[in-house]
Amino acid sequence: MTTLDESPAAQRYRSPLLARTGAVEASGPDAGVALHLGDPVHEQRALARGEAVVDLSHLGVVTVTGPDRISWLNTLSSQLLLGLESGASTELLLLDVNGHVEHAAAVQDDGERTWLITEADDAAGLATFLDSMRFMLRVEVAVREDVAALGTAAGGWQRLTGHEAHVLTWQDPWPRTAPGSTHYGPPDAEHPGTEIHRAVSLVRRDALAAVVDAFCAPTADGARAGRLAGTWPWEALRVEAWRPRLARETDERSIPHELDWLRTGVHLDKGCYRGQETVARVVNLGRPPRRLVMLHLDGSEHLLPDAGAEVRHGEKVVGRLTSVVRHEELGPVALAVIKRNVPADATLQAGDVAAAQEIIVGLEGVTDARPAERPGAGLRRRDLRP
């Protein structure tokens, strides 16, 4: 545990698991852990079967303790947290006054403290913001260096829970639309992420290597031995699921509607919180200015653009790439945020590569939570004639 001005985010992290055979370090927001361990295709297949564990020990973890913690976090965030049961998995967004996404965190309460899992570079900022909002409430905020995160999919987390160093497992609710929420993408049953079940487990950091070794060891019941995987397959499953990520899909202008993040990150019927006016206005009036899209990239040249590259329609810049991956079945694919009114059938240029769209957030920019009649639509200019 650290004080807020001694956050590990300020120091260059390097996972001890990078010493494993074949490990190639990732870059960008995943620097400090392995991108892959020499065989990303088979790592992704094992992950999808629940037989791989991903080193996510670079992620940031913040805890909030004290009797007022749940009601306090409820007033600050986009999520309805009142009545949150111990062990339940949810997520929250913290918005600025104009509704732009500033922080995002996976959330689980263990009955004594609320755990927030976030990006490596966001933990210190999240903790600092929360600490600034304590006022006279009975809460304490801490950045936790004593725990490390591991990622699994398809129930693989169950291999971790029996280890004495296991702290908790957060199961990603994406993309199942939570009660009180709505969606800008397809309904849950038609969403490609519905069959992708990812989880993040926290374990004691001093036992990180031992937990991974136990996961990878043959089991007494004859189940296939597990393997260590990198962030390449982890990100490939995320992109396949159209799952937005704070360190990738957001910028200073992002609002949750553009990323279809209302479905798991925003409750529309809770009390006031910072940014709520923008959330409600865009839901009621429709048409967020941008939309998240999946791009299928031309991989014939074996070179892919980097995240952050411009997306063009003809000569016009219409957006930017946010995540770029090589998926073992889909091939080279990306997530991008583009202008809402770009035609759905437009062939785009992502960097120097041709790209075909797969719609995530619809061009009409409306949701089933939008009123049947737009606010004010029934009003008419007053007739002043005699």
- By the 10 Å C-beta count (0-12 exposed, 13-18 middle, 19+ buried), 268 is classed as middle
**Cβ-based neighbour number of residue 205 at 10 Å:** 17
124: CATH: 3.30.1360.120
- Among 179, 211, 240, which residue terminates a domain? 240
Is the pLDDT at 374 greater than 80? The verdict is no
Summarize the confidence of residues 168-187 as an average pLDDT: 97
| Maximum Cα–Cα distance across the chain | 92
* 31 plus 144 within the same structural domain: yes
Is the pLDDT at 47 greater than 80? The verdict is yes
What are 93's strand-pairing partners? 104
Report the pLDDT value the prediction gives residue 23, as an integer from 0 to 100: 98
- pLDDT interval class at 91 (50, 70, 90): very high
The two tokens of residue 24 are 């190639």
The residue range of the domain holding 311 is: 289-364
pTM of the model: 0.93
332: CATH: 2.40.30.110
* 224 plus 299 within the same structural domain: no
- pLDDT exceeding 90 applies to what percent of the chain? 87
Phi, psi of 46 (to 5 degrees): -65, -40
* 199 plus 325 within the same structural domain: no
The mean pLDDT of the chain is 93
Domain count, the chain: 2
Which one-letter amino acid corresponds to residue 355? Answer: A
Is the pLDDT at 20 greater than 90? The verdict is yes
- Among 207, 240, 273, which residue terminates a domain? 240
Residue of 95, 100, 92 lying closest to 255 (CA atoms): 100
Report the pLDDT value the prediction gives residue 129, as an integer from 0 to 100: 98
- Can you tell me which residue has the tokens 């597990």? 226
* 294 plus 215 within the same structural domain: no
Distance (Å, whole) CA 153 – CA 234: 9
Report the pLDDT value the prediction gives residue 379, as an integer from 0 to 100: 40
Is the pLDDT at 291 greater than 90? The verdict is yes
My answer on whether omega of the bond before 175 falls inside 30° of 0, hence cis, is yes
Task: List CB contacts of 163: < 8 A, sequence separation 6 or more.
Answer: 203, 207, 210, 211, 214
